[in-house]
Amino acid sequence: MSRDRVTWVLIDGENIDVTLGSSILGRRPQPDERPRWDRLLTFVARTWNQTARGVFLINASSGIPTTFVQALKAMDYEVVLLSGSAEDKVVDIAIERTLQALVGRSADVMLVSHDGDFLDSVAALIDGRRRVGLLAFTEFRNTGFAALTGLQKFDLEYDARVFDAPLPRIRVIPIEEFDPTTFLDA
């Protein structure tokens, strides 16, 4: 594993949580249905064969989720607690600023979000010198990401395998991945 280069993994946890709850489960996720964030860093480090440094941005305007923050810190995440007015999308603002700050650095970037608000900043990072990736639920990614040539796209469940049990997703399966035993043996 390369120690010379790092991948910054920027996590829009609110976006992932809302998508998981509203679009996939249809309810608030139970603790055992949430992503295993330690697996995410392991996936990124293994996929790009270099150190992955996670930055988990949290809107703490209404308070600090202490237990969650402690768990993330134990997994070596940089936890960034943000606050602002009710109109401010503080996590989006912070991710946008971080993506812009990374343009001048020689680091790779993996964004964990579905949000199209980051399209321009992600596009600015794709310069042929660095790897830029997006980790999300494929079917809920903003469609604008598909047009970004050079962006590597990964699925949270199928590629990164950050869930303990299969999620109730309906997806289009590429024929080379089709395995009828997944339903025949169920």
For 102-120, the pLDDT digits (tens) are 999 999 999 999 999 999 9
156 or 172, which is more confident? 156
Say if CB 118 and CB 10 are below 8 A apart: no
pLDDT of 171 higher than 80: no
Kindly tell me if the per-residue pLDDT of 159 is higher than 80. yes
Tokens of 186: 């169920």
Amino acid 96 reads: E
* DSSP H helical ranges for the chain: 13-18, 37-48, 66-74, 90-102, 119-125, 181-184
pLDDT-wise least confident of 1-10, 110-119, 144-153, 157-166: 1-10
Helices and strands of the chain, counted as H and E runs: 6, 6
Spatial CA neighbour of 19 closest among 37, 33, 40: 33
So what's the pLDDT on residue 2? 56
Cβ-in-10-Å burial (0-12, 13-18, 19+) of 101 comes to exposed
- Residue type at 1? M
φ/ψ region of 156 (left if φ > 0, alpha if ψ in -120 to 50, else beta) reads: alpha
User: What structural domains does the chain harbor?
Assistant: 2-184 (3.40.50.1010)
Tell me how crowded residue 164 is: count the other CB atoms within 10 A of its CB.
11
pLDDT at 137: 96
Summarize pLDDT for 24-59 with one digit per residue, the tens.
999 999 888 999 999 999 999 999 999 999 999 999
